Every structure is written in C-alpha cells, then in structure tokens.
Amino acid sequence: MIVDISRKPDVFRYARASAEVVVDRCNTAVAAHAARFAHRYLPFLHPLPLSVSASCKNGRLYVEGSTEWQTGVEMDVLFGVLVGAVSSGVETIKNIVVEVKTKGDGYATVDITQLEELPLVRNGDVVASAYGEMELKSLDLVKKPVDKGHPIYAAQTAAALNVKRLCELMGGPCPSIQSFKIDIDVRDILTAVATVKSRDVPPGPEALFAVGVAFLTIWDMVKKWEKDERGQYPYTKIRVVSLR
C-alpha cells in the first residue's frame, strides 16, 4: 500500500539530513544517487524529481534535496545519508537526523558540487551482525498498526527485501546471501539486530543497511506523530547503527 497523494498540491520542499561518520573520505556520489532513488527501497515513498547533493565535513556526512512536488523529501535524504555512510566503509554510524525541512517558500538552492565516488573495501567474515538504536517520541505506536500498516512487520519485510539490493546502489562485489534475520524490540528506545550470512563476500555493509532500512521504514510510518508544530523532528534520531 502507498498512501494516496493525488489531492496534494505541488509546493517547494527542502530537507537536509546528516550523520556522524569517522572516515577519511565520504562516498558523496553514492549518497546523492541513493537519495534520488530512495523510493525504490523504502516502501511508502513516492518517486519525485529530486535535486540532491551531498558533502562531508567536520566528521559529518550531509545530504540535502529539494523539489516542487506533492510529498516531502526528508525520508529521501535520510536514505541517502544511510547508504552514503555504508558505502564509505564505516563500521559505525551515529546520530542520523533531519536537521531541517521546509515546505512552501523556497528555502535553499541545492548546490550540486563535484561528488566523489569511492570503491568499497569489504573486510570481515562471511557472517555479519549489526545493532542499532533509535529514539522516537511515538514508541507506543510502533507496537500496533497505524494507517500505513504495522511498523515492525513492515520494517522487517523492507529489511529482508533490501538486504540483497545494496549493490544496486553502490556497486562492487555482491555477496551471495544464504540467510538473514532481523529482530526489532521496543522498550525505552527502539532497537534492532540484523544478522547476515553469505557464501563468499563479507556482508557487513548489508547488515548495517538492513538495520538502517528497518529504522527508516518505521520513521516514515510514524512521522506525522513525530513532527513538532513547525514540522521538524526534534525528538527523532537514529542514535547508532554499528557492526557487532
């Protein structure tokens, strides 16, 4: 199911997301590419004509996007941050947030600077596990169906479908996935653990990606309850996604 947006007007929309990453260089080309095609991976997003760019400075990866369309772009740039960080070779991503989003008046012109694409170096065993924590204001809603479906079930399905598809976004060797499992728990925070086993190529990036996709799917499903009166997300962030 995709929510009907046919009665919404086209208005200018802008968003910038970022995350803490510890790398020498960021894969900004893949980050921007992933934001443009996020609708193919996050189940409730719509395709939209997104102008997007990415940059890396002071230990953070930034992705920003703008469009004149019927839906917001914050989930698209969040997805770009996730994939850009994973494709940069990190083992830990911290504090994935939406820094700002606007609707209506033009906020910023996205400056498409020279983007850098780096080959991903895979290290580790053919079994990989990733752990993540996410803060939500609406934790109780995660445990039951909302208008888009059941957040946990949708997140598990999205993660399982996407764990084999990371190579579509970042290229390089694709692991032959033999098994995949993701557990999502809701207590004081939202947690997820994903375990991936392959036959050949170390699947650490896929494990990170699976946890991130699960969290972003849940975020998208409950986002209307996460926003404040200005439409921002002051209470919502992915604290950490890390290999174990």
Q: Is 116 among the domain residues?
A: yes
At residue 111 the predicted structure's pLDDT band, cuts being 50, 70 and 90, is low
pLDDT at 1 over 60: no
Chain segment 3-19, per-residue pLDDT in tens: 666 677 889 999 999 99
Residue that has been written with the tokens 């995660």 in this structure: 142
The pTM for the full model equals 0.94
Say how far residue 181 (Cα) sits from the centre of its chain.
Answer: 19
Q: For 77-106, what is each residue's pLDDT tens digit?
A: 999 999 999 999 999 999 999 999 998 876
| Strand residue runs (E) in the chain | 11-20, 51-57, 60-69, 92-104, 127-135, 177-186, 190-198, 237-243
The total domain count for the chain is: 1
Which of 111, 140, 220, 228 is the catalytic position?
220
Return the closest-CA partner of residue 99 out of 215, 218, 35, 18.
18
Q: How far apart are CA 67 and CA 110, in angstroms?
A: 10
Ramachandran angles phi, psi of 131, nearest 5°: -125, 145
pLDDT tens digits, 170-188: 988 899 999 999 999 999 9
For residue 123, tell me if it sits in a domain: yes
Residue 4 confidence (pLDDT)? 64
Residue 61 scores a pLDDT above 80: yes
Q: Which helix (H) or strand (E) holds 142?
A: helix 139-142
Give a yes or no: residue 191 inside a domain: yes
Q: pLDDT digit string (tens) for 131-156?
A: 999 999 999 999 999 999 999 999 99
Cα 37 to the chain's mean position, in Å?
A: 12
| CATH number reported for the structural domain that contains residue 94 in this entry | 3.30.70.640
Residue appearing with tokens 């080309």: 29
In a domain, 3, yes or no: no
What's at 31, amino acid-wise?
Answer: A
Please report, rounded to a whole number, the percentage of residues in the chain having pLDDT higher than 90: 82
| Domain annotation covers residue 80 | yes
Query: Does residue 1 lie within any of the structural domains?
Result: no
Domain that holds residue 235: 11-243
Three-class SS state of 31: helix
Cα dihedral across residues 217, 222, 228, 234: positive or negative: negative
Question: Residue 5 domain-assigned?
Answer: no
Query: Which of 199, 209, 202, 198 lies closest to 238 in space, CA to CA?
Result: 209
Q: Is 220 a catalytic residue?
A: yes
Give me the pLDDT at residue 106, please.
61
Report whether 59 contacts 108 (CB < 8 A). no
Choice between 173 and 169, residue whose per-residue pLDDT is larger: 169
CB neighbours of residue 4 within 10 Å: 8
Residues 178-217: tens digit of each pLDDT: 999 999 999 999 999 999 999 999 999 999 999 999 999 9
